[in-house]
Amino acid sequence: MSKGIKIVSGAIVCEECKLRGDVTIGGGTIIHPSASIIAEAGPIIIGENCLIEEQTKIINKAPVGQIDNENVQELIIGSNNVFEVDCAIEAIKIGDNNVFESKSFVGNKVTITNGCIIGAGCRLTEEQTLKENTIIYGENCNMREGLDRPLPQTLQMDTLIRMLPNYHHLKKPNLVNNKKN
Amino acid sequence: MPLYEGIGTEKLTVVMDLGAAFTKLGFSGEFAPRHIIRSEVTLKGSNLTREIYSYVNGDDLYDLLVEFLHMIFFKYVLLSPKDKPVIIVESLLCPTIFRETLAKVLFSHYEIYSLLIVPSHLVSLAPLAINTALVVDVGYLETTVIPICHGLPVLHAWQALPLASQAINNKLRKHLHSCNIKISEVKQNIIDDIKVRCCFVTPQRRAIQFLKSNSQLNYCPDLQYPLGGTKIINVPGKIRETVAEFLFEEDNDHQCLSTMVLDSILKVNVDLRVKLAENILLTGGTVMLTGFKARFKEELYKQLNSSRYEKLKLSKFMFHSAPSKDNYTAWLGGAIYGATEVLGMKSITREYYFKESRLPDWPNMKDNSRIQ
Amino acid sequence: MSNYITGPDVVKYACSCGLLKPITRLYFCRHCLELRCGFCVCHEVDSNYCGKCCENLPSAEARLKKNRCGDCYDCPSCKQNLSKRAATVGPKNPEDPKATPRKVYYLLCLNCRWSSRDVGIPDQAAATGSWPERENVHAARLQEIIEMYKGIVLAEKQQKMEKDKKKQRRFMTFTDRTGITASMLRKRIGLPDIPHPLLKPKPKEPEEAVAKEEVEEFPEELLTKPINLNEITTLEQRLNLPEWQPTTVDKLFPIHKQVSVKRSQRCRACEHNVSKPEYSPTSIKFKIQLFAFYHIPEVRIFTVEPLRAGKQCELLLKFSNPTQHQTVITFLPLFPSEDSFASKEIKELVPDEEVPSREIVIEEKQPPSLPGSQPSSLLHTSLSRTPSITVKPRPIKQAITANVELPTSNFVLLPRDDAAEFDDSGDTHNIQDDTKLVVWRKSNKAVIRLNITPLENLNIGDEVVVGFTMQHIYVNTITAVESKEPQRYNNNVKVFQYLGKIVGSE
């Protein structure tokens, strides 16, 4: 395991996933095999209880031509986010309770607040900050505002916490939950 | 036989209003159309979407209408057209080629039993239960004004100008192009959507201010319109507020929407002028633009002060609001007519059509001279 | 086969209406022995069904429900299906210790996550049925107006009828002579007067609409407040609810799902069905399917040599016979000079006899009336149907840009045998083929060689199109009942091949 990777106890991180650079993974977060998290331009910090499914690519990528060693940009991902199969995320910042559906793409000029849903196959690249509870859906990336945040996937997460260790090798957590401090 | 008519289930008759941009369809005796769809077809094979009104000649239009009506009958109306009556709501100024081709398609391709064509301006009054009014139809291609007096359209007083939705769309596209890059290929329905959701007609007082060079007024706030996630169209407040201004600006012939109405009133007998001015009905989808009606009224009063219309001696205008949305008032009129026995009395049957192989029409002397 | 779905269509057949279409888009009417296509057949609605719950709706019910499914809804925001979701909420009175949590239902769109809670529709206790419906606010007034117009027109009609009646009456009637009308007579005897059936009690005249000086006020806050696009409905969303056309998203209400129809196709010349689907919405099979693909030999382009203007080149075509009967294929020119365009050669063949071309009987097609040989029972069963109008076929507009050297000899195509594919015994046919024509043969397929010459005046990049009339023997099995022996016809089909573009010289 490379040096920069910090896994808080309680997280389930499969051995076959690809972690590069300075990555911090919060407690209760589940990372499936073959997901890749690449901290290229700066560290990536993932909050608690996120679900990161297969083929997900979370990349901290600086805008082209802006790689700046002095001003390191962190990618902070909040808690209770769901990254569905084969989504690619390069956002600036991600809040809590968001859902990134399958094959969605979020470019590196986009800031995601809380409770947003990026629909299956939607591509967001233009510079923008999504308001809370925004829902992007459909072929033309139509936008609407939801009433509430999407419900967390507790049932699914519980099952995965039980099942995944039975079938996969896990990376050992190397950080004690220091939330109390 | 007529004794038995009307007993049992009510007959459903298809009522269609084929507009240049949108087609309204539904059944007679109902209070709103079932569907409002774009008047366009996607051609099989090439996957090209074409508007019905983009025809190059009669044969082309025939094929377009066959495709379009097929979609209407089997996707929306869900009725075999064969041996059924059909009601078409149509402008009195509809091109002859369109009328004739539509009738040909309906009678010879779809083999309908009978066809009733009702003039849109006249039937627009049916939902109001009145028979004298000035009907201003602001549609997609053009605005037409026809006074209806005691249930008869006064045709010599008609006015028509291409000041309508299509012109607004073109203006909007042009203006947006100047402040956004790569917007020329944006589809028509996006332009329509920007117009409907972002733009409005500003009150007269502001419009006058904007025309002055030293105007201190600020335009309404700018707007970001997201387009497909990969692009954001910047819609400046100036465009939002003034894109429809040209409807009220007099052109080189000193004509605009308000003068059309007053010119039309001028051409009518003196006795009827006051009555028409106090019974104005605005129809067509474009009048639903936010602020349109308020501005329209202001403009009428403004024109009244000019020397051209002094002799009208009008002091007030009154407007009707139909028990419908403005874009389907004419359709609703057709549906009301269709619920009555007019269908059996006045419609053109298949036998008649194939005997004459043309439709009766008001500009045709053969149909005209009989009345006189 | 995938080529037929994705295109481009390189082989097209000329339908009897003059349109060129690939064989998969054509029907073959076995009664008129003509190709038909979607353009020239009469489409009819067969049955209504809901595409979501796959329930059949009888046509009367569909009409009553305005062609919409009573139970399924579409999302007003994105037009996808709405799903019913169950949720548990606390009991009505939490103080009661015995109360159990209730199950409630709401509607949710899985595409855009619109839910019935978004617009404040209360959750329902039952999964089906009880969703609130909305009425048109103008319904009562419009009903009055319709009644009024009905009354006016009826009165007008009656006046006209009475006028006609007076004109027609030539003989004195009893009442005329005595001056007593039937209704007077009834009164005199003491019977109650029966009102005239057409003279309904006059409906209340609705008041004329009153024009107002005021119009919709301009919303002043538009000028200063920025608008939130997410709160304003799109044009599509408005038009999906034509009756209400809401401008803000909080007035979007679920739409009853529009039902779909199954269609049957009927030949216009003989009124027989060429395609009729099975009634059940879940079935994708047909009761009648007269697709050309199962009756007319299929032509495919096997290979073609590079095309050069004015130079002869070789074209290999693969023919396959889809029927259970052996057929003979003969090549004829596209437009026979002596034969008029609309005519058709029909010749009953005596088995085992050569067809000398001079004996071919040319029979003119009789457009609207049925040929005498047709079983007329079909017309009587559907008395309500008026015979169809036959539209004059269009001339075929396709330009031919290459000459084809038509082979003088014909060739045999064996019947299709589904078992042959599993039979390893090899080809056992004993057919004496013209080796110049037939290159390859296996079961019901054969590849033949044609020499074509693109026209001299073509430039590089021009499309090369060749065409010929394919004459094949069609064995009609439906008439077998009457005449005991299947009738055999020479059927002519015009086939066009789009071979590609002219290339430059080597």
How far apart CA B171 and CA A74 sit, in angstroms, is 45
Q: Return the pLDDT at C381.
A: 41
- Rounded to a whole number of angstroms, the distance from the CA of C237 to the nearest CA of chain A is 12
Q: Is the pLDDT of residue C374 over 70?
A: no
For helices C139-168 and B329-338, give the axis angle rounded to 10 degrees.
Answer: 40
Would you place residue B68 in the very low, low, confident or very high pLDDT band (cuts 50, 70, 90)?
very high
Q: Does A116 touch chain B (CB under 8 A)?
A: no
Contact A144 C229 (CB under 8 A): no
pLDDT tens, C100-154? 788 889 999 999 999 998 888 888 888 777 788 888 888 889 999 998 998 888 8
- Rounded to a whole number of angstroms, the distance from the CA of C158 to the nearest CA of chain B is 10
Interface test with C, best of B78, B79, B136 (most C CBs within 10 A): B78
- Residues in chain C with CB shorter than 8 Å from the CB of B35 are 242
Q: Give the pair of three-digit tokens for residue B209.
A: 């201010």
Q: Is the pLDDT of residue C371 over 60?
A: no
Interface test with C, best of B197, B281, B337 (most C CBs within 10 A): B197
- Nearest chain A residue to C230, by CA: A144
Beta bridge partners of A110: A128
Q: Is the pLDDT of residue C2 over 90?
A: no
Kindly report the CATH class assigned to A6-167.
mainly beta
Would you place residue B356 in the very low, low, confident or very high pLDDT band (cuts 50, 70, 90)?
confident
E strands present in C444-486: 445-454, 463-476
pLDDT tens, B195-204? 999 999 999 9
Domain ranges of chain A: 6-167
- Contact pairs from chain A to chain C, CB under 8 Å: 34
Q: Return the pLDDT at C399.
A: 86
pLDDT tens, A137-146? 998 899 999 8
Alpha helices in chain B (DSSP H): 58-71, 96-104, 120-123, 165-179, 188-198, 204-211, 237-242, 257-266, 270-277, 292-304, 329-338, 342-346, 350-356, 365-368
Q: Does B324 touch chain C (CB under 8 A)?
A: yes
Q: For the residues C419-441, what does the mean pLDDT come to?
A: 74
Q: Return the pLDDT at C375.
A: 40
Q: For the residues C261-284, what does the mean pLDDT come to?
A: 91
Burial label, C255 (beta-carbon count in 10 A; 0-12, 13-18, 19+): middle
Beta bridge partners of B146: B135
Q: For the residues B151-170, what does the mean pLDDT come to?
A: 92
Q: Give the pair of three-digit tokens for residue C3.
A: 């080529």
Domain ranges of chain C: 2-23+297-421+431-501
Q: For the residues B65-87, what does the mean pLDDT come to?
A: 93
Closest C-alpha among B71, B67, B70, B45 to residue B54? B67
Residues 6+ apart with CB under 8 A from C443: C414, C416, C417, C420, C421, C427
Q: Quote the ipTM score.
A: 0.91
Contact in structure between C22 and C258 (CB atoms under 8 Å): no
Contact C230 A134 (CB under 8 A): yes
Would you place residue B213 in the very low, low, confident or very high pLDDT band (cuts 50, 70, 90)?
confident
Ramachandran region, residue A47 (left: φ > 0; alpha: ψ -120 to 50; beta: rest): beta
Question: Comparing A10-14, B136-140, B145-149, C340-344, which segment has the lowest mean pLDDT?
Answer: C340-344
Q: For each of the domains in chain B, give its residue range(s) and CATH number, in order of start.
A: 2-121+326-368 (3.30.420.40), 126-163+250-320 (3.30.420.40), 165-246 (3.90.640.10)
C74-112 core/surface letters (b: 16 or more CB in 10 A; e: else): bbbbbbebbebbeeeeeeeeeeeeeeeeeebbbbbbebb
- Compare CB distances from C45 to B78, B133, B295 and report the shortest one's residue: B78
Question: Comparing A49-63, C212-226, C341-355, which segment has the lowest mean pLDDT?
Answer: C341-355
Contact in structure between A170 and A12 (CB atoms under 8 Å): yes
Q: Is the pLDDT of residue A168 over 90?
A: yes
- Nearest chain A residue to B187, by CA: A140
How far apart CA A59 and CA A44 sit, in angstroms, is 8
Q: Which residue has the higher pLDDT, C432 or C506?
A: C432
Q: Which residue reads 């459909």 in tokens?
A: A138
Residues C154, C159, C160: CA angle, nearest 5 degrees: 95
Q: For the residues C10-14, what does the mean pLDDT come to?
A: 93
Percentage, residues of chain B above pLDDT 90: 65
Mean pLDDT value across chain B: 89
Q: Return the pLDDT at B69.
A: 96
Contact in structure between B283 and B325 (CB atoms under 8 Å): no
Give the B window 26-65 contacts with C, CB below 8 Å: 29-37, 45
- Taking the complete model, does pTM exceed 0.90, yes or no? no
pLDDT tens, B270-308? 999 999 999 999 999 999 999 999 999 999 999 998 888
Q: Does C473 touch chain A (CB under 8 A)?
A: no
Q: Return the pLDDT at C254.
A: 92
Counting as contact any 3 or more CB pairs under 8 A, the partners of B are A, C
Q: Return the pLDDT at C355.
A: 35
